[in-house]
Amino acid sequence: MARTEQQSNDKFAGRWFWRYAAPAAFYPLAGKIEKIGWVLAVVLAAIGLYMGFFVAPTDATQGEVYRVIFIHVPAAWMTMVIYLAMAFWAGTGLVLGTRLSFMMSHALAPTGAIMAVVALWTGSLWGRPTWGTYWVWDARITSTLILFFLYVGYMALSAAFDDKKKGDRASALIALVGAINVPIIYFSVKWWTTLHQGSSVRPGSSSMATTMLWAMLIMTFAFWAYCVAAAMHRLRTQIIEREAGAAWLDGATK
């Protein structure tokens, strides 16, 4: 059984983590993080896109179409990173019983799912000119699709409970079960693609110019900043919904 927040608070009283584990304390901090996130996202995206389109040279083998990479790769990475973060907070919530942890994983899930859609969409559009087809049953691609299913399952499950607290714990459990399965699925799909190799074209890796690499890295940081800001915004909305009636909220939302 999970410890209750009260018990945990007593035990760990005074540590910074527990101070911010209280929604009331984290609400203003989340606001600050959110603001910084939006600013960074806009600035970094501006720099990254400028570099990507105007500084980075045309790719020798692919031509201009490779410029999709500046959003495709960051989106694909965020899909995985956010899933891990979501499962981490879900686990924290189950073990420590802190409300904020569950809210954190709920706040991350929709952004993660959107990143999965962006990775799949941009990858498909990129695949057509490079591999001659929109879709290939490649291991990396297929795992991204399954990761998308796991996100949707998590969100659908938490929406299926009228009792929020139960929904929190139930969906946290399914997030953890999914997290254990991700590597199993990845290696199974990899095995499967080698089993069925032949017709499908496999993604080749091209050596990249350093400006391309830089543009991609900067865009990755822009995606990070965006995802953090969006998650913090969603987190604050949830705090408002769930702490309705708490006195401190009146001042905070006026």
| Contacting another protein within 224-243 (CB under 8 A) | 226, 230, 233-234, 236-238, 240-242
- Residue 84 binding another protein, by CB under 8 A: no
Contacts of 118 (CB under 8 A, 6+ apart): 71, 75
Judged by CB under 8 A, which of 184, 194, 205, 210 binds another protein?
Answer: 184
| HSE-CB of 21 using CA atoms within 13 angstroms | 22
Does residue 205 touch ligand HEM according to CB under 6 A?
Answer: yes
Q: Does 119 bind ligand HEM (CB under 6 A)?
A: yes
- Does residue 116 contact residue 171 with C-beta atoms inside 8 Å? no
240 binds, among ligand HEM, another protein, none (CB under 5 to 8 A by kind): another protein
SS3 198: coil
Q: Which of 22, 24, 25, 174 binds another protein (CB under 8 A)?
A: 174
Q: Using CA atoms, how far apart are residues 163 and 237, in angstroms rounded to an integer?
A: 18
Instruction: Read off the tokens for 142.
Output: 């297929």
From residue 132, alpha-carbon distances to 20, 96, 230 in Å are 51, 50, 35
DSSP one-letter string for 25-82 = HHHHHHHHHHHHHHHHHHHHHHHHHHIIIIISPPBTTTBGGGGGHHHHHHHHHHHHHH
φ and ψ of 59, to 5 deg:
-75, 140
- State which residue has the least CB distance to ligand HEM: 123
- Is 175 a binding residue for another protein by CB under 8 A? The answer is no
51 binds, among another protein, ligand HEM, none (CB under 5 to 8 A by kind): none
Residue 206 lies near another protein (rule: CB under 8 A): no
Nearest to 78 by CA among 105, 18, 118, 45: 118
Binds ligand HEM (CB under 6 A): choice among 72, 169, 234, 236: 72
Among 79, 105, 122, 144, binds another protein (CB under 8 A): 122
Site for another protein (CB under 8 A): which residue of 131, 135, 214, 221?
Answer: 135
Find the part of the chain contacting another protein (CB under 8 A) among 19-27, 55-63, 82-90, 202-210. Answer: 55-63
**Phi, psi angle pair for 202, to nearest 5°:** -100, 145
Query: In the set 31, 40, 130, 190, which binds ligand HEM (CB under 6 A)?
Result: 130
Q: List residues binding ligand HEM (CB under 6 A).
A: 69, 72-73, 76-77, 80, 119-120, 123-124, 126-127, 130, 140-141, 143-144, 203-206
